[in-house]
Amino acid sequence: MDWDVIYTSELSRIYNYFIYKVFDREIAQDLTATTFERAWKTRSNYRVIIASPSTWLLGIARNVYREHVRKNRFTVPLLQDEHLVSNVNIEQSFQERQDKEFLRRLLLTLSEREQDLIALKYGAGLTNREIAKIKSLSESSVGNILHRAVKNLRKKWEERYGR
């Protein structure tokens, strides 16, 4: 097993899962580092026949996220501009930053379950089947929940942008 290859192929997936969960680049980096550290420490227990590297790492990532929420469960994230993913790169156009900020606010209106499915789908780039396996749901349930959530988000998006 080439762990360097796994790191290269999975880093973006894990990092973006956290970006869609916490909307904060610094926190996403911390949680990503914690996930890989934990994975590397326990990798002798990993068996490819039980789960793909993606599924295994996302399982660890979800535990890391739960612990993060548990530690911060009585605090509501402050919407400070300097911490927003959208504002980190100063070269991004104003419109792009506005779009990202609006999308972030839309995602915050979702239930935790919907947010998690969106993070796994659009952040981690998993298929509905892979998400179903991780969430212990049927593939059709995942499809239905995502369809409903995306439809609602799209409606609000189009109300604002008309596109």
Give the binding range for other proteins (CB under 8 A) out of 17-25, 48-56, 126-134: 17-25
Q: Binding residues for other proteins, how many (CB under 8 A)?
A: 48
**To the nearest whole angstrom, how small is the minimum distance from the Cβ of residue 60 to other proteins?**
14
Q: What is the CA radius of gyration of the chain?
A: 17
Q: Name residues whose C-beta falls within 8 Å of residue 145's C-beta, 6 or more positions apart in sequence.
A: 113, 114, 117, 137
Q: Which one of residues 51, 100, 139, 143 is an interface residue with other proteins (CB under 8 A)?
A: 100
Question: Is 7 near other proteins (CB under 8 A)?
Answer: yes
CA distance 65 to 131: 16
* Residue 7 to residue 145: CA distance in whole angstroms: 31
Tokens of 20: 């869609």
Q: Does 41 bind other proteins (CB under 8 A)?
A: yes
What is the separation of C-alpha 106 from the centre of its chain, rounded to a whole number of angstroms? 15
**Closest distance of CB 41 from other proteins, Å:** 8
Of the residues 9, 42, 52, 111, which one makes contact with other proteins according to CB under 8 A: 111
Residue 123 sits in the site that holds other proteins (CB under 8 A)? yes
Residue 94 in the binding site for other proteins (CB under 8 A): no
Is residue 36 involved in binding other proteins (CB under 8 A)? yes
Decide: is 61 part of the binding site for other proteins (CB under 8 A): no
DSSP 87: G
Q: Are 32 and 15 in contact (CB under 8 A)?
A: yes
Smallest distance, Å, CB 153 to other proteins? Answer: 7
